[in-house]
Amino acid sequence: MSDYILEMRNITKVFPGVKALDNVNFKVKKGEIHCLVGENGSGKSTLMKVLSGVYPYGEYKGDIILNEQIQKFTCITDSEKAGIVTIYQELALIPEMTIYENIFLGHEIKKGRFIDWNETVIKAEEMLKKVKLKINPSIKVKDIGVGRQQLVEIAKALSKNVKLLILDEPTAALNEDDSENLLYLIKELKKQGVTCILISHKLKEVISIADSVTVLRDGKTICSIDCDKEKITESLIIRHMVGREIDDIFPKRRKKQFGSKVLEVKNWTVYNPILGREILKDVEFNVRRGEIVGIAGLMGAGRTELALSIFGNPLGYNIKGDLFVMGNKKRFFNPKDAIKSGVAYVTEDRKGNGLILIDDIKSNISIANLKALSKQGFLNENEEIKVANEYKNSLNIKAPSVEQKVGNLSGGNQQKVSLGKWLFIKPNVLILDEPTRGIDVGAKYEIYTLMNELVEQGMSIIMISSELPEVLGMSDRVYVMSEGKIVGELPIEEATQEKIMELATN
Amino acid sequence: MGFFEEAKYIIKQNIREYGMYIALAVIMIIFTISTGGLFISSRNISNLINQTGYIAVLAVGMTLVIVIRHIDLSVGFLAGFLGAIAAILLTRTGVPVFLTVIIVLVMGLLIGLFNGYLIANVGIPAFVATLAGMLVFRGALLLVTEGTGTIIIPNKSFNAIGNGYIPDIANIPGVHLLTLILGILAIGFYIWSEFNTRQNKLKYNFEVLSLKMFVAKIIFVSLIMGYITWILSGYNGLSWTIVIVIIVVAIYHIITTKTSLGRHIYAVGGNPEAAKLSGIDVSKITLVVFGSMGALAALSGILYTARLQSATTTAGTLFELDAIAAAYVGGVSAAGGVGKVTGSIVGALVMASLINGMNLLGVGISYQYIIRGAVLAAAVIFDVKTRNKRK
């Protein structure tokens, strides 16, 4: 018997106009954790979609060999029968259903023609035990956190007798605790004989967990590294991913000069009427001209809520406290007010509430500032194209034209469009919420460089980030939030990952 | 790129948009051949367009409603009800025509705003809110026509809105001169605006069509406009209904394509959350769209009542569904954010041509419904297929 549970040989997949996969070879040993890394658009997801039957046999060239047999999957059900289960970044759970209903959705346990609910609950408990989740299976999925939902997804996979588990960026939306928990669980599953393919952008995670690493670039296999034989490092992987060495992930700023306070909040207490509780308590912070202020904290610490409550409060919280912009006391009743005062907010969820995916680049860039393109109420569409092209060039948005639909762009380029939209309102204060989430190393570097340029020109940036290296690498000052409060303010010289985590978890 | 390759490329790029125009042309040609030219006769085309008027104005408003991911089921009976109100104002209270029209339009606007308020501010799903409205206005229509039954309107100038034609400046048999002149002016305006757009694009150094293709396009469109003008001038000329529809379409076309308001409407339809965070007041946009829908429903009611020269107890039945069908056939997407006002007008014309052509051919009403349903389904299938392809 061969050591390999899976071999994908010379896989080629062509989309109209693009060769997404070009003779890719990919081998996974039985019982290992195999990490698949690569920049956005390198073909990782396409490869996994070929494997799981989303792109059926015949639409690609090459062979999939599972347990020494050539497989011809025509749909996801086929691959699931063979024991391959994929868990996507966007979880496929039904929020309004209970945990046990979700776990057995699609392969319900039946007695005769009807569902056997008692057996379902018992089996669900069994599966939850396997993923070390102590929770009542009758709770609705919408009522548990995203970290636990992830575990429910895995329990669902286990209930399908999974042999080969594919996890697509499972920790992208998780905080450090939940991430660690999940990685621990993956190791546990390995002991139980489940082979796992993990797609991840977080290289630290990859190094800590991988038995093998395969790097894809531009639809080709660049290398496969066996971690027992070869020592892997972040810079090694990055070098393979981008084909160049990034000596310094965080570009240095030429000058650091801070002016007066541009934005400040005092005694900022925010009540969320939907949750029925205070989500922010007595928050005080400020940002000066030409400064990047980092806001660190775990998921759920209230960072995004803080940003939204400042940015015109679109979710209708009850707010007490004072907001000062350029030294003047202000109240924003909606995002429009905030925009007028030169405050911009680049959302963490660019697909959900940042961009209009069905619209093109130019109308996404112009939408928050159409006034600047209008004369007597009429839009100058040529001016719009010109402006959009300027941002396309200065932000290095990779697209054939500004008439390209934003939904067709890669994550990094979407983020750049999102930035372009907010830079076009010429803000004084730019609030960036997870500015580099889910985008590749090259695009990250470009965004960091841009941030430096902006503050050098006198803008102020508030950066909310869950990635500590990013917070430490880019900020001039760091605030740490926990449970709706600012629990610490650190000058960058004093800030370390350990100190921040200590504050955030206390 | 050669001339034909460029033509092919352009058609391929815009197949979704051109698809409806091609479909309309194909339908018209088929009916023209199978009726031995009767379909394309001046009299028939004039009638066909006049019959489409009251659905066309509804389809314009419905386009925007569907673009912002809502629906309005109340407009049919709202049109019927407001038509009856117009009839009552004219016959029983003696309000002058001009004022009657204004009052009815304002009533429609207010009712539309109220619908919008329920949907945007109270948070009732549009389907439910307007379904309730549909029942209410049906009742209201019966209530006001209960005592009298059908209300006959003897007012000539009001009835002209639905039946009359613009006056002519000269008396030439067989040709309506003013219509011809207006048509030629419209063609001139079209050519001027195309040149203007091209000139502006060149100023910005943007890519434009090759000169050959540009001229070919202008000649093609001008010929079509000229032909339509010629047909209409052959029978009484432009009707007031056509004039009203053209004005409404022009206004909405300009608003949706050239103004911030239009952009905001499409942004709200494309992604309401993102629109909100971009500083757009989503509730205000919803109010505006439903307000305009209400006013257009009033206009539809006026056109229909004037055309029948009376208000009936069943006026407005199924108008809303015809308008929705026209919008979908015209390429409006149920997922929101996509759809043109001009497309919906073409959609309305496609549906009206089908009915008209099948009537001329003597196709039974049962088959007519089946064929209309099939065409609606086919249009949406085409739309979905071409959209997937572009991804």
List of domains in chain A: 4-242 (3.40.50.300), 256-342+427-506 (3.40.50.300), 355-426 (no CATH)
Give the distance from residue A274's alpha carbon to the nearest chain B alpha carbon, in angstroms: 15
User: pLDDT at position B391, please?
Assistant: 40
Closest chain B CA to residue A358: B270
CATH hierarchy code of domain B3-164+239-390: 1.10.3470
CB contact under 8 A, A359 and B267: yes
- Residue A444 or B107, more confident: B107
B chain contacts of residue A338, beta-carbon cutoff 8 Å: 279
Give the distance from residue A261's alpha carbon to the nearest chain B alpha carbon, in angstroms: 25
CB contacts < 8 A, A to B, total 84
Nearest neighbour of B206 by CB, restricted to A334, A354, A382: A382
User: pLDDT at position B105, please?
Assistant: 98
CB contact under 8 A, B271 and A366: no
How far apart are the C-alpha atoms of B157 and B63, rounded to whole Å?
30
CB contact under 8 A, A314 and B338: no
Conformation bin of residue A167: beta by default, left when phi > 0, alpha when psi is -120 to 50: beta
- Do residues A307 and A462 touch, judged by C-beta distance below 8 A? yes
- Do residues B355 and B329 touch, judged by C-beta distance below 8 A? no
CB contact under 8 A, A368 and B206: no
User: Tens of pLDDT along B196-233?
Assistant: 999 999 988 888 888 889 999 999 999 999 999 999 99
How far apart are the C-alpha atoms of B74 and A418, rounded to whole Å?
39
User: Domain residue spans in chain B?
Assistant: 3-164+239-390, 165-238
Stretch among A127-136, A447-456, B182-191, B281-290 having the lowest mean pLDDT: A127-136
CB contact under 8 A, B275 and A371: no
User: pLDDT at position B54, please?
Assistant: 96
| Helices and strands, number each (H, E), in chain A | 16, 24
CA A461-A465-A467 angle, 5° bins: 135
Nearest neighbour of A371 by CB, restricted to B201, B260, B277: B260
Give the distance from residue B391's alpha carbon to the nearest chain A alpha carbon, in angstroms: 7
Collect all residues from B whose CB is shorter than 8 A from any CB in A. Answer: 200-201, 203-204, 206, 258-260, 263-264, 266-267, 270-271, 273-281, 335, 337-338, 390-391
Nearest neighbour of B263 by CB, restricted to A347, A367, A383: A367
- Do residues A3 and A29 touch, judged by C-beta distance below 8 A? yes
Contacts of A114 (CB under 8 A, 6+ apart): none
Place of tokens 């028939």: B44
How far apart are the C-alpha atoms of A150 and A190, rounded to whole Å?
17
Per-residue confidence in pLDDT tens, chain A, 506 aa:
568 899 999 999 987 656 789 999 999 999 999 999 887 667 888 899 999 998 999 889 999 999 888 999 998 888 988 999 998 877 788 888 999 999 999 888 888 889 999 999 999 999 999 888 888 999 998 888 878 888 899 999 989 889 999 998 888 767 778 888 889 999 988 998 899 999 987 788 888 899 999 998 878 898 898 888 888 888 788 778 776 554 567 888 877 889 999 999 999 999 988 877 889 999 999 999 999 999 998 777 889 999 999 999 888 899 999 999 999 999 999 999 999 999 999 998 898 899 999 999 999 999 999 999 999 889 999 999 999 999 999 999 988 899 999 988 888 899 999 999 999 999 999 999 999 887 877 888 999 999 999 999 999 999 999 878 889 899 999 999 988 999 999 999 999 888 887 888 76
Give the distance from residue A347's alpha carbon to the nearest chain B alpha carbon, in angstroms: 9
pLDDT greater than 50 at residue B390:
no
Give the distance from residue B40's alpha carbon to the nearest chain A alpha carbon, in angstroms: 38
Cross-strand partners of A256? none
A chain contacts of residue B206, beta-carbon cutoff 8 Å: 382, 385
pLDDT greater than 90 at residue B318:
yes
Closest chain B CA to residue A363: B263
Question: DSSP characters for B154-166?
Answer: --HHHHHHHH-BP
Residue whose C-alpha is closest to residue A296's, from A50, A31, A42, A499 = A499
Selected for mutation to probe chain A from B256, B277, B284, B386 (highest A CB count within 10 Å) is B277
How far apart are the C-alpha atoms of A471 and A493, rounded to whole Å?
12
What Rg, from alpha-carbon coordinates, does chain B have? 22
CB contact under 8 A, A353 and B260: no
CB contact under 8 A, B263 and A421: no
Helix (H, G, I), strand (E, B) or coil at B175: strand
The interaxial angle of helices B75-88 and B42-67, nearest 10 deg, is 120
